[in-house]
Structure 1
Amino acid sequence: MGEEENISVVVATPLVRSQVVTLALLFLAGIVNFLDRSALSIANGPIRQQLHLSATSMGALLSAFSLAYGFAQLPIGPLLDRAGAQRMLGAGLALWSTATALTGAVLGIRSFLALRVLLGLGEAPFFPASLRIVREEFVPQQRGRAIATINISTTLGQGIAPPLLTLLLLRAGWRAMFAMIGGVGLLLAAAWLLLLRRESSVRTPPAPLAETFAGWAALFRVPAIWGLMLGFGGVNYTSWFFIAWLPAYLQTSRGISIKTSGWLAALPFLAGSLGMLLSGVLADRRVRGGAVVARVHRSQVIVGMVLSALSTLLAIRAASLAVAMACICGALLFIHFAGTSAWGYVQAASPRALVATVGSIQNFGSFMIASAAPLLTGWILDRTHAFAGSFLLCAVVALCGAASYILLVKDSLPLSEA
């Protein structure tokens, strides 16, 4: 059973220097993570034109990353729990940055697909490792803000990506754009491995449940684990839908130029950062007031996904660009409000030694669902020449995710019974 951290009276605990350094590097890694992840979406049009790709083929490239990322979650969790989260995160950062840099040299769809798979494999340790590090190095009343800070870095990366990458795209071309952002990631990987060579002073031995394949597989017999995978799928499907296709939607459905879309596309992801911050601040405040941590995060996940789905539905009927942008900003604000608490729930409800394992399984299941978003959107676009059907599908998936948290996920994870 996970820890039931019910804190009635909590005094604010300041961060020590090692925590600040750790959080700062995780923050920067999160920004680079989503700059690299968003680059293909920003260069969607020029790449399709130069390599003669259909929307469905572009969707396949976008989905190749998320499928590789999702499947890599399965071994990543046990490896992080048994080995060092910091070492694996540094190695992953180096791998995904190398894949990004080499993307600038692709000549066809086969090499492109291979590098998208490597990008997914490299980025796979980021969230489970971050969750493990937060659980080990931060006390309960700090964790909500720590997780929110890491999550904010990802939407900040998504927010920075459209204007920054559009500028690089227009100035230097898409090939140089990939090479430059990959180089930045390699520099950060070197800094991470140099400055954080030590493992956390608080090391928890791996739990017996995760020591063998049989024990690891037993987690899949717990209904709540399926609830986490299906529920978080609603979060990641929505997030990946907008990451992959928002610039193209603005350019084709709203008639916006590439240059202008780069700035407009930043706004919803900045709204997502606000949603993450609100989620962490509100969760910590409720915990300080005496609420049970896991219950706080579960309720915020449900509310966030429902409101995101409603915002996405409203965007379909938006008569103007301003209204459409307001609805999309709301959709991403609320989905990232939910997503931050989804990670908060895992670290609160899971046994300490299984945090990364449960988090990676949650990520695996969710990305099997999210991987369909780019491909289905491209397929629908090729056949209907409109985005309405894709927006509707996104809203339905988010509502199904909320239902999963209501029906299958409770205020604790009964992992001791697996």
Structure 2
Amino acid sequence: MRSIVPSAAVLRQKYALVSALRAQGFAIGSCEDGKPAAGDLFLVADGEVPPAPARTLILGNGPRAAIPFTDGNPARLSYEAEDAAIGAGFASAMVRGPFEPVAADPESLALLALSERVAASDITVLINGPTGTGKEVLARAIHMGSTRKDGPFVAINCAALPESMLEAMLFGHQKGSFTGASSGGQGFFRAANGGTLLLDEIAEMPLNLQAKLLRVLQEREVVPIGGTVPEKVDVRVIACANRDLHGEVEAGRFRADLYYRLSVFPLSTKALAERPGDIPALAAAMVLRHSAGRATLPWISNEAVEILTDHSWPGNVRELENVIQRALLLCAGDVIEPMHLIFDRTAPARAEAPAGTLSNIVQIHEFQAIRDTLAECNGSRIETAKRLGISERTLRYRLAKAREQGEQIMPMQVSA
């Protein structure tokens, strides 16, 4: 992971952002530590001179704006405290890269930190989690954080190939070893020699191939179809599954010995709805990823963020990416609003929360705070928003939400 070198002004003005980047694995350097390394990134405040323009993110307080790195010019990011979640997401995506793992939720940050420790070793890893939760992204990050990063990263989906082809694709074959084998093939294990082999959807592998895979993992050698001489391979294996492999073992559909050989260090990714803190950061990263050619990145409004966070996300991260791509197509201006969000399916109505749940308690107190502040400000929405530290648009959204739930907040006194 590269280091980030923030200026003294950035540490004063955006300390929360610097802390968030540190939590995501960035080393925080200082100009006083000596000459920065060639790949270090710089964070400077608006008005300061960029030390290395192509590697400098300029941060400001003011109207929302996100300008990515282009043609050797510095990136620029400006936002107020109420937009900190999206601002931090843009900052992370700009300095890390739009295709790198994204983590902002506490559990995801812990998983990312653990994966970095795993990457430093060479043990076999099993990543379990629902479809579309970023298992391959995590596997690639482990590869890039390891001593094998300069070697190949080869990914194969065990469910995408028929059983008759899977063995040859994994272990290779010699010319004439079966009908249609007009030439030899090295197979994925030998193609990944010196690097990492990702076996995705490993639960779909037939039992007879599981026995052969177990031998390869134990002996670190493969025998191509039609061959008689084993060939040594130096490959790190990462396996992914979207089903509970332990349950598959108990059901007799997966070999117990292979399970324990793969699960030397198990990691688990959660459904997107279970880690809502990641949603603003992921959305910002996807805006950057799919905004090629735009001089300024569209900002995601607080109202849109609330809708995204409240969605159930049955399709997980892949569904979120679809929603952001549609929003970018529909958004003609510089802000993605709720009207630009089109979901793959209508989320099922959520059951009413019991009166004593935390979310219900928080909402009751939020409505009461708005009610009290409006009374103190004689119904002025502008002054109320200022005192509460939110935008007028966010206040309007909260008032509309209160009306939907039957809460009456000074209906006759609220004014502009």
Question: TM-score scaled to structure 1, two decimals?
Answer: 0.22
* More contact order relative to length (CA 8 Å, sep ≥ 6): 1
* The structure with more radius of gyration: 2
More strand by share: 2
